[in-house]
Amino acid sequence: MQNLKGFSIRWSTIRDYFVILVGSLVQALALRLFLVPANLVSGGVSGAAQVINFYTGWAIGLMVLIGNVPLFILGWRYLGGVRFALRTAFAIVVFSVLTDALTWFVPPEGVVDDLVLDTLYGGLMLGVGLGLVYRGQGTSGGSDILGRILNHRLGMSISQAYIVTDAAVILLAGVAFGWKLALYALVMTYVSGIAAEMVLEGSQVFRTALIITNHPTEVAQAIMTSMERGLTIIPGTGAYTGQARPVLYCVITRAEVSQLKAVVREHDPRAFMVIGSAHEAMGEGFRPLAEN
């Protein structure tokens, strides 16, 4: 049993590194096929490397690797443990090597001569690659590491740190390539962010429902019977009345929202219900949380 368990752990590690490898390849392809030919700059170290390459001709991948080394050393303690840090180091090295190696196989002018297509498809591919690296429990380095450093050193939120670091690189791109291309780069960054989230969290959006009713038992039973969805009853107290008011909590799909409303309305028309969004749901009735 221990041998099987050990094999399972080793297999999950191999799978993570393979996913990171594929994600790094997709990122490098996005850079060489769409971003570099169109002078579209992504945020972080790779974007800064593009700007430096424009003026000096130095290899982009090599500069990405050199730029990430001091950041990686400074951010080692903030990378969430040795396993996470090693995966990040692997992603940085593979991306840097592939970025320069692809110059032997990819035409320097890219595949299309259309700035809009370069922006959309470059951002899409870059985001898919980032999402795969994240799914492999790593990061792409650069602004990810710098964002964690700024978060711990200056108390800046991760999202604010990303905005600061990426905005600085976009400003450099505006000076080097012109403000029109810098604005297109902002659109590309937005597209890549959406694509990365979809790969990381999935394209499905679930709904969460909080129901406050005077008939919690009847409503809960009806939901479990007619919709075959589980619920959690959370003890609550009305602030105005001071009376106990149990709160029903459940997770459903978007298609089940109207059915849930009908069930609650049938058993308690005076119920109070709040419906929110959830990016991912795991467990019974949804995607299994435990890995096979």
Domain check: are 253 and 133 in the same one? no
Residue 208 gets the label, from left (phi > 0), alpha (psi -120 to 50) or beta, of beta
Domain check: are 67 and 144 in the same one? yes
Q: Are 161 and 152 in contact (CB under 8 A)?
A: no
CATH of residue 269: 3.30.70.120
Domain assignment present for 99: yes
Domain assignment present for 251: yes
No. of helices (H) and no. of strands (E), the chain: 11, 4
- Only one residue has tokens 């990061």, namely 139
Q: Are 192 and 134 in contact (CB under 8 A)?
A: no
- Amino acid (1-letter code) at residue 181: L
Domain count for the chain: 2
Please state, in angstroms and rounded to a whole number, the distance separating the CA atoms of residues 72 and 141.
7
Q: What is the pLDDT of residues 100-159, one digit of tens each?
A: 999 999 998 888 989 999 999 999 999 999 889 988 888 887 777 777 777 667 776 656
Please state, in angstroms and rounded to a whole number, the distance separating the CA atoms of residues 85 and 81.
6
Domain check: are 42 and 57 in the same one? yes
Mean local confidence (pLDDT), 88-103: 94
Domain check: are 38 and 120 in the same one? yes
- The residues near 231 (Cβ < 8 Å, ≥ 6 apart) are 220, 223, 224, 248, 249, 250
Most confident of 201-210, 244-253, 272-281: 244-253
Domain assignment present for 289: no
How much is the pTM?
A: 0.76
Domain assignment present for 186: yes
Domain check: are 156 and 224 in the same one? no
Domain assignment present for 120: yes
Q: Are 19 and 138 in contact (CB under 8 A)?
A: no
Domain check: are 172 and 237 in the same one? no
Domain assignment present for 288: no
pLDDT at residue 73, rounded to an integer: 83
- Only one residue has tokens 């990171």, namely 20
Domain assignment present for 285: no
Give residue 16's domain range.
2-201
Q: What is the pLDDT of residues 18-28, one digit of tens each?
A: 999 999 999 99
Mean local confidence (pLDDT), 243-251: 91
Domain check: are 55 and 189 in the same one? yes
Domain check: are 84 and 178 in the same one? yes
